[in-house]
Amino acid sequence: MDDLYISGFRFKDNLPKYSYLNNLPVVKYLKNNNEMLFDKNIVFFVGENGSGKSTLIEALAIAYGFNAEGGSKNFNFSTHRVQYDLPDSITLFRSAYPKDGFFFRAESFYNVATNIDEIEVGGYGDISLHAQSHGESFMSLFFKRFRGKGLYLLDEPEAALSPSRQMSLLAHIIKLSNDSQFIISTHSPILLACPNSQIFQLSDDGISEVSYSDIEAVQIYKQFLDNPERMVKYLTED
Percent of the chain with pLDDT over 70: 87
Between the alpha carbon of residue 33 and those of residues 11, 206, 207, the distances in Å are: 8, 10, 10
Strand, coil or helix: 4: coil
Q: Hey, what's the torsion of the CAs at 116, 117, 122, 127, to 10 degrees? A: 120
pLDDT at residue 1 above 80? no
Residue ranges covered by each domain of the chain: 8-212
Evaluate if residue 116 carries a pLDDT over 70. Answer: no
**pLDDT, position 140:** 82
Q: What is the mean pLDDT of residues 121-134?
A: 65
CATH code, 8-212: 3.40.50
The pTM score is 0.91
